[in-house]
Structure 1
Amino acid sequence: MKFSKQHANYQSEITQFIDSLKAKNPNLEASQLAGRALLWDKSPIDLEQQARNQASHVDQQAYPYQNKVR
């Protein structure tokens, strides 16, 4: 599929907004990464603890108030 030059230079309003936001605040991406590091990028996962957690999982009954069916 071929695009005309008009389509090749097209930028949506959202893209224009983000580009202007980054131009006004060049440290924006660095501050976003720092914020992510505060909340999400934590210590490595303990695989043994994760395996113990999965092994100790107990399935819930379809209807929790029903007596257990044997």
Structure 2
Amino acid sequence: MKKYKSQATLFLEKLKSQNPQLEQAQREGRALLWDKPALSPDEIRRNQLAKVKQRAYVYGND
């Protein structure tokens, strides 16, 4: 019995076979935009101290 593959799977397999460096480019793009180094405890503390408390009614003009 042949294993079923959806049209989306077939499309992606064909795309990756035509463009072998695609996955590496995707990983590089993700690293550029999303994968950030973890914050040190000192940076976390500084970020918490730098927060400004929001007023109860932010639309007031006083």
TM-score class normalised by the smaller sequence = 0.5 to 0.7
What's the offset of the Cα at 1:57? 2.2
Structure 1 residue runs of 4 or more that deviate by more than 4 Å after TM superposition:
none
Flag the structure with larger Rg: 1
What's the offset of the Cα at 1:48? 0.9
Aligned length: 61
Higher relative contact order (CA 8 A, sep 6+): 2
5+ residue gaps, structure 1, are none
What's the offset of the Cα at 1:47? 2.4
5+ residue gaps, structure 2, are none
Decide which of 27, 33, 39 is 1:39's aligned counterpart.
33
TM-score for the superposition, normalised by structure 2: 0.65
